[in-house]
Structure 1
Amino acid sequence: MVGLAVRYIYHFSDSILIQSEGFRTFVERWTGNKERIRFYPNTFEEMPVEVLTEFKESSIANDVARGFSVVFAGNIGTAQSCETIIEAASLLQSIPEIKFYLIGGGSMAESIGKNIAACKLENVVMTGRVPAEDMPPIYASASVLLLTLRDEPALLSTIPSKLQSYLAAGKPIISSTTGESAKIVNNASAGITCPAGDAAALAKAVIKLYELPVGERVRFGENGRKYYETYYHLQTRVTELVAHFKDVSGVFGEYQRKKGRAW
């Protein structure tokens, strides 16, 4: 029944926008028409400069600025595979300068917290939920921004919205994911990717960035920022969407005129 509804909606749509290229094959299968499908990713709206200048000193940001900090921000749920982060952290206890920060909350937060305590990990800090306006200075203080997802087929096409905010922050990224998110990080040359759910590979990725010269880490961040400005900046996306609507409406109007049903 759901399939029939989807096919009906797609059939009578003049344009179908997909948030991830990973959805293209699925949508094509239901529409049978490649021409109507267009990639239109989510964006990330940065805070105005006047708001950023009003930030008060953040104790979390100050802590993150010390040593080599690996920051994970956002939902701590089943899909995020935060247990992989904990396992990787346990493998890196011998390097006290490296510390992981889990910023956010979610259905798995309590379980992850208990796991950290049980393993007696001193290199993992959970801050709980943090207001969005407090995140820019935290990102700015981070050495690396971390993106993780579970290794599941349903998540291959998923592009978490935090990826856009990470790219905008201009910091190197570690993507412990399999699928579209990893492709974006690689295409942007914005950091390092490793297989989803592989704690040992994640630990190696952290060490690799830790041992890189600062200039190379900065270059990863700059590449990510440029990629964000090219593909995800709000004004860029709005301009493209308006142009697309004009194009679609023009084609539709011509079709109606040919059918003698123009209004």
Structure 2
Amino acid sequence: MKKIVFLALGFPDVAKYTNLYTDLIHEFHHNGHDVLVVAPAENAKDTGLRLEGGVKVIRVATLPLFNVGIIKKGIANILLSSQYKKALKQHHITLDFDLVLMPTPPITLTKTAHWIKKKSGAKLYLILRDIFPQNAVDLKMLNSKGLIHAYFRKKEIELYNVADSIGCMSPANVNYIKKHNPGLNPAKLHLLPNWENLPNYSEESNADELTTKYGIKDKFVVIFGGNIGKPQKMENIIDLAKSCLDYPTIVFFIIGTGTEKQMLIDLVKNENLTNVILEDKIPKTDYNKLLLHADVGLISLSEDFTIPNFPSKVLSYFGNKKPVLASVDLNTDFGTILEETNSGLWAEAGKTQLLKEKLVQLYNNPDLRSKMGENGYQYMKENLQPNHAYATIIAETK
């Protein structure tokens, strides 16, 4: 048994909903490890040490970290490390951990992670899910020659050097970190693909009721669920929807919130796109059931990225046996992985006509959709579950 501390950014209360990090931490918990999570509080009354699903969690008061401007977000992230350190001291946590787990984002928790590592003699395992600050440069949110970029780049290098092991999402991620950090020991780097529990199909789906409720009954549903921000470049999806008005049964069902949601609402309204349905967050049970009855799962990444991203939302599509349609940049290997697993089709982001051709190919071929959906499911079952991530981390931190 190991004593583990997880320094989290996005860690919901499992009584409300789950994500890849709650799934991973509960895998550690179920395997008998003693786990403590340090994470932001949703509001002031939720601060303090408590049990959530049997796992100890310290909820820390922070400045707003999500759906705020780049300056406010930057300040909140810079303050996070000292806030976490203070919380650990306030709750008299004994620093005798065997393992420190830390994901990106953020990269600003390095100081606290290093402090725990030195005090405990622990190993530090970095779950690399965001290559920052370069992603902000790609999206023109930071100037690559500016002082802010220099500050965060220094923090990034420091984090890689302090970490004992670094788990990367895909082979392209590994190669990118090697290429752009030549002073880093490459032995630290290895594959840690995204993970998610397979869905439970035992509940009644109430298909007619749900599809009627959301206005998608008797439609060919292309579904998108998740964050709506600059990385997703939803303008490309709007262009696709506009090009598909000649297919009246195809609808684009987009669910989520984010910094670009109002822009998306305005685009749909201005273009009078009757084939786009927008929802904010919907009940997780509704989303899972709707996925079962959707026809295609949609992925979108900005063509401006120079870093290789791997979208975690694809796991929900794989788990529900949905073929994937992806609009992605050429620096990610996500499209290649779709090809290798024969689980979906993709086109270079911004090439609307080619993306439409791929969608029409799926639209006209139910057997292809079924085959690709089953391939994605099997790939996830064999490679992309929490127990696989758990086993990798344990093996790398012996």
TM-score by length of 1: 0.82
Indicate which of 84, 108, 115 corresponds to 2:260.
Answer: 108
Letter in 1 for 2:268: I
In structure 1, what residue type is equivalent to 2:357?
K
Equivalent residue number for residue 362 of structure 2: 209
Identity, % of aligned positions: 24
Aligned partner of residue 87 in structure 1, secondary structure: helix
Tell me the CA shift for residue 205 of structure 1: 1.5
2: CA distance, partners of 1:117 / 1:11: 48
Shift of 1:122: 1.1
Paired residues of 2:176 and 2:308 also in contact (CA < 8 A): no
Mapped to 1, the partners of 2:302 and 2:279 lie a distance apart of: 22
- Please, what is the CA RMSD of the aligned residues? 2.3
Tell whether the 8 Å contact from 2:207 to 2:293 is kept in structure 1 after alignment: no
Q: 1:165 to 1:30 in 2, by over 3 A?
A: farther
Cα offsets for 1:112-157 (capped at 9, x unmatched): 1121122111111112221323221111010101000110134x41
Deviations 1:228-251 (A, max 9, x none): 112111222223332333xxx3xx
On the 8 A contact 2:343/2:372 being kept in 1, the answer is yes
Question: 358, 375, 381: which one pairs with 1:223?
Answer: 375
CA contact (8 A) 1:104 1:128 kept: yes
1:177 lines up with 2:328 in the alignment = yes
Q: Which whole-Å CA distance do the structure 1 matches of 2:163 and 2:265 have between them?
A: 46
Residue-pair matches, total? 242
Partner of 1:117: 269
- Change in 2 beyond 3 A, CA 1:217/1:8: closer
Q: Tell me the residue number matched to 2:20.
A: none
**What is the distance in 2 between the residues matched to 1:239 and 1:221?**
26
Structure 1: distance between partners of 2:238 and 2:295 = 18
1:99 aligns with 2:269: no
**Structure 2 Cα separation of the partners of residues 238 and 196 of structure 1:** 33
Hey, what's the Cα distance between the residues in 2 that align with 1:21 and 1:115? Answer: 36
2:339 to 186, 208, 223: 186
User: Which residue does 1:20 correspond to in 2?
Assistant: 170
- Could you say if the C-alpha distance between residues 59 and 108 of structure 1 is closer, same or farther in structure 2, counting changes exceeding 3 Å? farther
Measured in 2, the distance between the counterparts of 1:9 and 1:95 equals 50
Q: Distance in 1 between matches of 2:277 and 2:161?
A: 50
| Residues 155-174 of structure 1 mapped to structure 2, 5 A cutoff | 156-174=307-325
Instruction: Give the corresponding residue for 1:237.
Output: 389
CA distance in 2, matches of 1:111, 1:13: 39
Q: Distance in 2 between matches of 1:65 and 1:15?
A: 48
How far residue 57 of structure 1 moved from its aligned partner, in angstroms, is 6.1
SS in structure 2 at match of 1:79 = helix
**1:197 corresponds to:** 350
Give the SS at the match of 1:158: coil
Amino acid corresponding to residue 126 of structure 1 in structure 2: L
Q: 1:76 Cα deviation (Å)?
A: 1.4
| CA positional deviation for 1:182 | 1.6
- Which residue number corresponds to residue 188 of structure 2? 36
Q: Hey, what's the Cα distance between the residues in 1 that align with 2:241 and 2:153?
A: 43
Relative to structure 1, the CA distance from residue 80 to residue 87 in structure 2 (aligned partners, 3 Å threshold; closer, same or farther) is same
1:121-160 matches, cutoff 5 A: 121-154=273-306, 156-160=307-311
**Amino acid corresponding to residue 151 of structure 1 in structure 2:** E
* 8 Å Cα contact 2:241-2:252 kept in structure 1: yes
Structure possessing the higher relative contact order (Cα contacts under 8 Å, 6 or more residues apart):
1
Give yes or no for contact 1:64–1:141 (8 Å, CA) kept in 2: no
